[in-house]
Amino acid sequence: MTTFFHHASLAIALIVTPATAWAQASDLPIAVAASDTFPAGIGTKAVKDGAVYVDKRGLTLYGMDVRALTGRTGKPFLFCTGACLDSWEPLLAPAGSPVQPTPPGFGGNSRNGPRVAPSGDWTVSEGPQGPQWTYKRVHMVFTRKGDRPGSTAHDGEDVFVWNTLKYIPPAPKISAPLSVQARLVDGAYVLADTQGNLLYTMQTKRCSAACADWQVFPAGMARRGVGAWSVEQGQDYAQWLYHGKPVFKISGTDPAKIPTGGVVLKP
């Protein structure tokens, strides 16, 4: 497989074989979004394994991960050009958009625009056809020419150079005990303990006989509540209550393990 990229002012061909493996940052999942607001014309769409960013036509947005290119050669890359543009279309920023300083790994310098500090997830970098959107400062944003809306067929192409821009919603702010955290499960945030065990409570206010065997979420030495959380002192232990209902936990993050009559806690 041959792919063309732009290094300084030259078009360089990289020969990539399917057996090649790269241990680098680009193999890691895209980070959680900083906010749920996006530039005009950019939205999200649910797909099989979660959600991806899309353009106004509904085409999936892909990031060209400059870390993958730099990791292969040890040289900085700026953007795809030549034959690369036969397959990939840059997502251009509005005319006159200021270009942010070039991140490490891109190579070269920003050609135009003031050197302003980046903000949020979306910044503007110099691209092959002018200023274009960049996500998380290392994913230059493109769509795949000839793609159909909702397709993610090119995710991970060219050994993780091209990756779908997955939308992972920002974690909600919660007022809870220190032992509680918001955790993303099946595309939605739920509450878990700091070991990742899901927390749940009862669907009704009365505890059935079955719940006597449920694993209590203990309050330990806590005596005061926080937010919607309060402490119920039992004879042998203290238990956390959420909105006045006792809280229990399962081992792991599989909601299917929550027993009948229980409901997962949500922020």
What local confidence, expressed as pLDDT, does residue 13 receive? 32
Residue 134 lies in a domain: yes
Give yes or no: residues 15 and 115 share one domain.
Answer: yes
pLDDT 10s digits, 197-207 = 999 999 876 67
Q: Do 139 and 248 have their domain in common?
A: no
What is the per-residue pLDDT for 78? 63
Could you say which residues of the chain have pLDDT below 50?
1-24, 107-119
pTM exceeding 0.75: no
**Is 145 found in the same domain as 66?**
yes
DSSP states along 127-142 = EBTEEEEEETTTEEEE
* Radius of gyration from C-alpha coordinates of the chain: 24
Residue 171 in any domain: the answer is no
Domain boundary among 119, 139, 164: 164
Query: Residue 175 domain-assigned?
Result: no
67-80 pLDDT per residue, tens? 887 777 676 666 78
| Pair 45, 61: CB distance under 8 Å | no
- 155 occurs within a structural domain: yes
Q: Which residue has the tokens 């990229």?
A: 5
The number of folded domains in the chain is: 2
Owning domain of residue 223: 180-264
pLDDT at res. 203: 82
Residues 187 and 232 in one domain: yes
Residues in the chain: 267
Cα-based torsion angle of the residue sequence 107, 113, 117, 118 in order, rounded to the nearest 10 degrees:
-70
What pLDDT does 28 receive?
66
